[in-house]
Amino acid sequence: LCKNSNLRPGRGKRLIMGISRIHGWGAFAGEDIERGEFVSEYKGEVISQDEAERRGQKYDMTARSFLFNLNEDEVLDATRMGNKMKFANNQDPVLSNLRVRVVLKDGEHRICMFAKRHIAMHEELSFHYGYSQEHQRYISVGGEGGDERGEKKGKRGRDHGPASTAASAAKKRHKT
């Protein structure tokens, strides 16, 4: 974990929503963003892993989940209380333009997005969700996974970076 003094209200980049070329709705840069710049925080409601599992079963029925692991005990749910960053889509790590960092700010874990490279205005924002291969196959067929349904048990959400080692070991369906 690291501390980041850039995390102050109004310090993120301008984001806009639009139809994605990747999937459904997407988040897009509302201005040019330089490599390494803080883009936005991924905001949502902090819930327990158990609550994330309960909600995730419901979200699986709609094939829409905005769950993101903060650490091994907590998950961020952006479904009801999120910001535009929740619409950043999943993309291969080589092609994605955002880097995810879990940072500690005022004693709370926060999910922050930074530009991996220059991002042009109106370019779609994406990052690698860190899904397991089983879950990636499951969501590719719209949740009708047969035997794969049983392989999805475990902690939900996206796992990213060194702050999520325990969560990474158990991840199946959450962004990491």
Tell how far CA 156 is from the center of its chain: 11
Q: List domains and CATH numbers for the chain.
A: 15-170 (2.170.270.10)
User: Which tokens go with 161?
Assistant: 């970076």
The tens place of each residue's pLDDT in the chain, 176 residues long, gives 445 445 554 489 999 999 999 888 999 999 999 999 999 999 999 999 999 999 999 988 887 789 999 888 999 999 999 999 999 998 889 999 999 998 888 888 899 999 999 999 999 999 998 865 554 444 444 444 333 322 222 344 554 433 333 333 334 445 65
pTM (predicted TM-score):
0.72
CA dist 6 → 38, 79, 114, 129 (Å) = 7, 25, 11, 24
Separation of alpha carbons 167 and 100, rounded Å: 15
Tell how far CA 165 is from the center of its chain: 16
